[in-house]
Chain A
C-alpha cells in the first residue's frame, strides 16, 4: 500500500522562515493538507502533508532547504473518548515508541498521524486491531 508521506523541512528559527517555505510550496501550486512545526530553540522542523510530496521535496531542495521525505502512519479512529488511548495502549503493549503524534477531525472522521521508528511493524499491529490505516490517496481525499 502507498504509505502517507510528509515532507520535512529544516529551518533556522528566524522571522520569515515559515513564510519563505510556504511561498515556495504555493508557487509550486501545492496544497497543504496538514502541517506541524516543532521549534527547538534556534531551529525548527516543519512537516507538511501536501498533495505531491515528491514535488514539494524537489521544490524546497531547489531553493536550498535541507529537506527530507518521511513516512508516517495515518490511522482512522472512532471519534469518541478513549480512541487515542486504545492506539497508544496497543503500541505500548508491543514496545513501539511514538516519536511524534498529532490528530485532527475532518468531515466527522478522526485521524491520528503517527511517527514511529518501526513503521511496518506498527502498521501490522494496528491493522490486527482492526484499525484503519489510511493510504496516501485516502489521506489526500479526506
Chain B
C-alpha cells in the first residue's frame, strides 16, 4: 500500500473522530461568522459529537445556484485566488472558489491518489483531458506535490498522443474514459504493441464499469484505476481509489452521510467555499470495513445521478439545456424527444406547419444549423431529426372554411 500522508490517511479511529469533531466545530464557527445564509440557518446550533451532524441543516445544489456566483463564499474575494466552474442543477453554473490554502490542500489530496497509484518523483505523467472536460487542475497540483514530471501539452488527436507516448515515454497516463477508449482503439487499428508504450498505470477521471476497465487495461497494457469526485466538493481529491478499485473517503477532510440513498458531504477544511451537509444528487452506499488494500474506514460506492443529469462522452448536461439551445433557433418552442447514446444525442424535433412553410427549401440547412448550435453551446455532438407532430390535426367537423394558411409562410399561398 502506497500512502502519501501517513498521519491522516492511517489515523487511528479514536484520534480521527476527535479531529473530525474539532474541525466540524471550527467549520460551524466559520460558517456562522462569514456566510450569511448559514448564519440564519445555524443560529443556536452546536455540536458535541460528530453524530450531532444529523441535527444540522442541509445545503442543496439549488441553494448554491440561487446564490450564484459568490453567495456561499466564506472569504473576501481578496483571499480567493482561483475560481473554477462546475455544472449545477439543470445546467446552471456553480462557481467554486479556492484560497491559497485550498489549492495547496487540493494538491496534497490529489497527491494521495497519485501516490496510491504508485506515482513517484521518477514518473513522467501525461495529463490529457481533451477540450471541454473539467478537472485536470487537481492532478497537476498533485503531480507537482510529488515532484513528478508533467507533460504540459494536450495532443489534439489520438495519433499525436501516441507519438507523444512514444517520444516522451510517460509512465503514467491520467485521462478521461472517452480519450482512453479512443487511444486504445487507435492503437489497435494501427496494430501497435501497447506494451511498447511503457505505461505503468492509467488513471481515469471518473468511474467506468468493470468491463470497460478490463478492456482498457488490455488495450493500453497497464493497470487501470478510476477516480471518483464531485465538481462542487473536490475532483480529484475526495477519496483515494486503491488498486482493488475501492474508493476510500478522505475522512480527515470530509464527512459523508447517506440520506434517502443520496450522498451527503460536509467539507471540514475548505476555506473559500465550505459546505455543510451538501446534497450531492448522487446515489451512494457507504461501506465500513477493511479493504483488501489494507485501508480501513469509510468506502464510497457511488451510484447513478439522482437529478436527471445526462452525459455524452465527457460532457454532462440536463434536458432543460437542450430546450435552451433550441430556444435560440428557429425551432424554438417545438416539442422534442431526446435520445442519448454513447457518442452523441439524437433530438427528434416536431416540425410545425409554420416552420415547414418557412423552411421548406432549407429544412436540411435548419437541421445543420441546430446541430452546430448544440456543438457550440453545449459541446455536444447532436443529430437533429424532424418528425411529424404527435398530436395530429383534428378534422374539421363542421366542414366550414376553418383552414388557415401558415402565418409566416415564405411562399405565397393565398389563392
Contacts and interface: CB of A to CB of B under 8 A. Distances in A.
Asked if A pairs with B, the answer is yes
Interface of A: 3, 5, 8, 10-12, 40-43, 45, 54, 58, 61-71, 99-100, 115, 117, 119
Contacts of A66: 351-353, 356, 388-389
Contact of B393 (A11, A40, A41, A62): A62
Contacts of A58: 403
Contacts of A45: 360, 363
Contact of A68 (B383, B395, B411): B411
Given A10-B386, A65-B388, A115 B412 contact: no
A40 B412 contact: no
Interface residues of B, number: 29
Contacts of B396: 62
A88 to B, nearest CB: 17
B413 A43 contact: no
A10 B388 contact: yes
B363 A10 contact: yes
Interface string B335-378: 00000000000000001110011001101100100000000000
B301 interface: no
13 contacts: A5-B413, A5-B415, A11-B388, A12-B386, A42-B383, A43-B363, A54-B415, A58-B403, A61-B403, A68-B360, A68-B413, A69-B411, A71-B412
B412 A67 contact: no
Contact of A8 (B352, B360, B364, B367): B360
A99 B413 CA distance: 18
Contacts of A100: 361
B385 A42 contact: yes
A68 B357 contact: yes
A42 B396 CA distance: 31
B387 interface: yes
Given A10-B351, A70-B411, A99 B393 contact: no
A115 B361 CA distance: 8
Contacts of B352: 66
B406 interface: yes
Contacts of A3: 412
A73 B154 CA distance: 55
A69 B409 CA distance: 9
Give chain A's interface secondary structure class.
Answer: strand
Nearest to A3: B412
Contacts of B410: 117
A5 B392 CA distance: 24
A73 to B, nearest CB: 12
B12 interface: no
Give chain B's interface secondary structure class.
Answer: loop
Contacts of A117: 361, 410
Contact of A69 (B387, B388, B413): B413
A58 B409 CA distance: 16
A12 B393 contact: no
Contact of B389 (A64, A70, A71): A64
Nearest to A69: B413
B308 interface: no
B405 interface: yes
Given A11-B388, A61-B403, A68-B356, 10 more contacts: A40-B364, A43-B363, A43-B386, A54-B415, A68-B353, A68-B357, A68-B413, A69-B405, A71-B412, A119-B412
B387 A12 contact: yes
Residue among B363, B367, B389 with the highest chain A CB neighbour number at 10 A: B363
Nearest to A13: B385
A42 B386 CA distance: 8
A82 B9 CA distance: 85
Nearest to B346: A42
A64 B388 contact: yes
Contacts of B363: 10, 40, 43, 45
B68 to A, nearest CB: 38
Contacts of B389: 64, 66
Contacts of B405: 69
A12 B388 contact: yes
Nearest to B391: A64
A44 to B, nearest CB: 9
A65 B411 CA distance: 18
Contacts of B385: 12, 41-43
A100 B410 CA distance: 15
Nearest to B353: A66
A77 B125 CA distance: 71
Nearest to A38: B364
Nearest to B367: A40
A68 B351 contact: no
A68 B356 CA distance: 7
Contacts of A40: 363-364, 367
Nearest to B413: A69
Nearest to A97: B361
A82 B392 CA distance: 47
B22 to A, nearest CB: 62
A71 B412 CA distance: 6
B364 to A, nearest CB: 5
